[in-house]
Amino acid sequence: MKKVYTCFCTDVIHEGHLNILREAGKYGQVTVGILSDAAMIKFNRFPTITMDERARIVQETGLVDSVVIQNEIMYDKVFADLRPDYVIHGDNWREGPERAIRQNVLDNMRKYGGELIEIAYTHNANVKKIDDNIREKLAMPEYRRRRLRQLIRLCPVVKTIEVHSGLTGLIAEKTIVEHNGELDQFDAMWLSSLCDSTAKGKPDIELVDMSSRMRTIDDVMEVTTKPIILDGDTGGQVEHFVYNVRTLERMGVSAVIIEDKTGLKKNSLFGTEVAQTQDTIENFCGKIRAGKDAQRTQEFMIIARIESLILEKGQADALKRAFAYVDAGADAVMIHSRRKVPDEIFEFCDRFREKDKETPIVVVPTSFNSVTEAEFAQHGVNIVIYANQLTRSAFPAMQDTAVEILKNHRALEVDARLMPFKEIITLIDDM
């Protein structure tokens, strides 16, 4: 009997999937691949139920002969193991980054043989409602909040991009690319005080209070599903930090990063060029403990940011603080540097990992931006935050556009560099 293969990356079986299964049954023995959790993430999906549950749902349709786990987005191992005579898929992968997956199937067919059968994608109100319900479920606090811890377990590195508005949140949510035969995307979002303040035309000195920043969080949460890491600056007074932890946790924020400095906020990249003071280990540990005591779930994370290298106090001080903060309850540590080479970051990570194999390490490679995520992973880094690139790219573009309009007394000269209205509308409407 001929072998037929199709693959699903969904938590719910709807009419479209059933159409594919019925069609598949006409050609032979049907095997359905269920994307693993790690593979679903690369596919810009995130499971709301377990992999075993997803497999059982497919099996219970009564339309399949066997179910297997597909651990990779691409089909190379599927063809090597199963040698399917037919691959059946909806025709919705002809456009966008998913074209790379389709091409991979065709390439394997040239090598192993077989035929691709594409079924018209099922567009109806019921299917859209199911898809919308899944997305809304992922946006709910209880699902969003836990995702960062899940991602740390599933991903070599959690790729995190700065957002500061609903629009930039949509960019972080929807940007997906094909690269070297794989699909890739951002895993999480970073809301910094610098970019939030800059977007509001304010200096980064904690002038924008937490209430205002929570409105930004709301704007982002309303149109996205990815987990949020919040820049909490110093955390403020302990009493304020406790309150904010509870609020952020309730909102569905996954983590807050607080830095071990005191006094008026100064951007860390100024280093010793401006007066910056570091908190005592005892005081900062007390703040961490108070925050952990305040939270109501096991999912929310408090991440301790260590400023010792920024302030040129050396590795010994940075490591002493890191281990003390973890002992106080910090769920992860962030190490920062303003050097353009990563040597001191790598040294810290390596020495930290000699004693602590589990606590996640976070880096923000603004200065040492030549390092790849794979290189960071080799040194035990779990989360990489691209902290301000969207803001820094947007402002020059807007300024140049304004200058050109003034110089030419019309907008024609800038039109080629502008995003078409249709693309903007599509980005927003397809939430």
Q: Are 157 and 300 in the same domain?
A: yes
Q: Which residue has the higher pLDDT, 121 or 325?
A: 325
Considering the domain architecture, whether residues 215 and 312 belong to the same structural domain is answered as yes
Query: What does the chain come to in residues?
Result: 431
Q: Residue 198 — very low, low, confident or very high, per pLDDT cuts 50/70/90? A: confident
- Average confidence (pLDDT) over 44-58: 89
For the cut 80, the answer to whether the pLDDT of residue 341 exceeds it is yes
Q: What is the pLDDT of residue 270?
A: 57
The stretch 192-217 carries a mean pLDDT of: 82
For residue 366, tell me if it sits in a domain: yes
Given 79, 99, 129, which residue is the final one in a domain?
Answer: 129
pLDDT of residue 305: 98
Query: Tell me, what CATH number does 359's domain have?
Result: 3.20.20.60
Flag whether 34 is in a domain. Answer: yes
Q: Please give the average per-residue pLDDT across 175-195, as a whole number.
A: 88
Tell me, what's the pLDDT at 273?
62
Q: Which pLDDT does position 258 carry in this prediction?
A: 97
Does residue 71 have a pLDDT over 70?
yes
- The stretches of 295-358 forming alpha helices (DSSP H) are 314-327, 343-355
Report the distance separating Cα 41 and Cα 150, nearest Å. 11
Res. 353: pLDDT tops 90: yes
Q: Same domain, yes or no, for 123 and 145?
A: no
pTM score, whole prediction: 0.90
Residue 272 belongs to some domain of the structure: yes
Exposed, middle or buried, 377 (CB in 10 Å: 0-12/13-18/19+)? middle
Among the candidates 372, 387, 402, a domain finishes at 387
- Give the count of domains, the chain: 3
Domain extent at residue 399: 393-429
Indicate if 182 and 307 belong to the same structural domain. Answer: yes
pLDDT on residue 136: 87
Q: Identify whether residues 258 and 315 lie together within a single domain.
A: yes
Domain-ending residue, one of 129, 162, 192: 129
Query: In this model, does residue 308 exceed pLDDT 60?
Result: yes
The pLDDT, as a whole number, for residue 401 is 95
pLDDT per residue as tens digits for the range 81-95: 999 999 999 998 998
CB-neighbour burial class of residue 167 (10 A; exposed 0-12, middle 13-18, buried 19+): middle
pLDDT beyond 70 at 404: yes
Bridging pattern class, strands 261-262 and 3-8 = unpaired
Is residue 354 domain-shared with residue 399, that is, in the same domain? no
Structure token pair of residue 115 = 């035929």
Residue 345, domain member (yes or no): yes
Residue 134 has pLDDT above 90, yes or no: no
Q: How far apart are CA 278 and CA 296, in angstroms?
A: 29
Q: Are residues 102 and 29 in the same domain?
A: yes
Q: Is residue 134 in some structural domain?
A: no
- 353: Cβ–Cβ under 8 A, 6 or more apart, which residues? 361, 379, 380
Take residue 101 and report the two structure tokens written for it: 């997956």
Domain-located, residue 420: yes
- pLDDT of 191 above 70: yes
- Can you give the pLDDT at residue 77? 95
Task: Please tell me the predicted confidence (pLDDT) of residue 130.
Answer: 77
Q: What is the CATH number of the domain that holds 28?
A: 3.40.50.620
State residue 422's pLDDT score: 81
Share of residues in the chain with pLDDT > 70 (%) = 95
| pLDDT at residue number 421 | 80
Task: Let me know whether 166 and 211 are in one domain.
Answer: yes
Active site residues: 204
Backbone torsion region of residue 257, taken as left when φ is above 0, otherwise alpha when ψ lies between -120 and 50, otherwise beta = beta
Claim to verify: residue 57 and residue 178 sit in the same structural domain: no
CB 139 within 8 A of CB 221: yes
Residues 107-136: what's their mean pLDDT?
87
Query: Is the four-CA dihedral 299, 365, 204, 259 of positive or negative sign?
Result: positive
Grade residue 97 by pLDDT with cuts at 50, 70 and 90: confident
Task: Please answer whether residues 394 and 163 qualify as being in contact, where contact means their C-beta atoms are separated by less than 8 angstroms.
Answer: no
The two three-digit tokens of residue 328, written as one number: 């106080």
Residues 406 and 340 in one domain: no
Task: Report yes or no on 228 lying in a domain.
Answer: yes
**pLDDT for 252:** 97
Give the residue, 428 or 233, on which the prediction is more confident: 233
Lowest-confidence segment of 70-84, 112-126, 203-217, 295-309 by average pLDDT:
203-217
In this structure, is residue 135 part of a structural domain? no
Do 108 and 163 have their domain in common? no
Closest CA to 78 of 104, 98, 53: 104
155 pLDDT higher than 80: yes
- Please write the tens of the pLDDT for every residue from 249-272: 999 999 999 999 997 665 555 555
Predicted local distance difference test score (pLDDT) of residue 212: 87
Q: What is the pLDDT of residue 427?
A: 72
Residues 11 and 29 in one domain: yes
**Residue 179 confidence class, pLDDT cut points 50, 70, 90:** confident
